[in-house]
Homo-oligomer: A and B are copies of this chain.
Amino acid sequence: MMADPRKFTATPSYACGSRPWVEDEIGLLRALSGHSRKAEAHQTLVYENDAISEVFLIHKGWSFAYRLLPNGSRQIINFPLPGDIVGSSDTASGRASASLECLSDVIYSPIPIAAIREAMTSDMRVGKAFLWMINRTNSITIEHLVNAGRRSALARTAHLVLEFATRLSNINVPIEQGFELPFSQTLLADALGLTPIHVNRIFRQLREDNLVTFKAGVIRIHDRKNLEKVASFTPDYLISD
């Protein structure tokens, strides 16, 4: 059966053979998790301010964490990728600081917060692994804040594209021939703090400048070097080793 290019089929899963100790750390946390579950696209797994007793280790699929404002607008905080833990930094308060919605089918396994707390005391590596996850997501949030506050719409968009390329690459998803992003421009707009219409214009410009194309849910980077220059992108904040 031929895959329709309009259909979003990308559901990255992680395989980190090249970074043994990360594998190890994820393994440690996975050992604490329950049986893996499957959620479907459009399903909301967590609502902001919900009381939570577990965090989610993502294995496969696309989702996004976001906040809603009273006027209906939405700010996307992060797109967790396989290997990330959603809610890691909310374990102390037990209240979700953001909602989580699926963009594709998502396979994940819940880790009880209590289990993490227990394990942290008995195995120092668990604490380290957990802090690692927190560190990673926090760095990304900070970079998104820098993006929204101090980069132009063009630089911001280019930056987000490069963030995806790098993060996917880090979990061994090939990106050279283009990679799938199952996002509407409206969704990207809510991540970038822009209107969908302006995102469209920005992508037109990126296309005309031969930097990036985004067509049928597939990103192709044509000139990475100049794209990085436009975005003032440095991958330092994307902790991976």
Contacts and interface: CB of A to CB of B under 8 A. Distances in A.
Interface in A147-205: 148-151, 192-193
Nearest to A65: B142
Nearest to A139: B97
A92 B132 contact: yes
List the number of copies, as a whole number.
2
A90 B73 CA distance: 31
Interface string A113-143: 0000100111110011001101110110110
A91 B122 contact: no
A223 to B, nearest CB: 19
Contacts of A222: none
A150 B193 CA distance: 6
Contact of A145 (B91, B95, B148): B148
Task: Tell me if A's interface is mostly helix, strand, loop or mixed.
Answer: helix
A127 B134 contact: no
A49 interface: yes
Interface string A221-232: 000000000001
A146 interface: yes
Interface residues of A, number: 47
Contacts of A136: 92
Given A73-B150, A121-B124, A150-B193, A97 B138 contact: yes
Contacts of A144: 145, 149
A68 to B, nearest CB: 9
A74 interface: yes
A91 B127 CA distance: 11
A145 B141 contact: yes
Given A69-B150, A128-B117, A135 B89 contact: yes
Contacts of A232: 69-71
A97 B237 contact: yes
A110 B121 CA distance: 23
Contacts of A91: 131, 135
A128 B116 CA distance: 11
Given A144-B145, A148-B149, A232-B70, A135 B90 contact: yes
Interface of A: 49, 67, 69-71, 73-75, 77, 89-93, 95, 97-98, 117, 120-124, 127-128, 131-132, 134-136, 138-139, 141-142, 144-146, 148-151, 192-193, 232, 236-237, 239
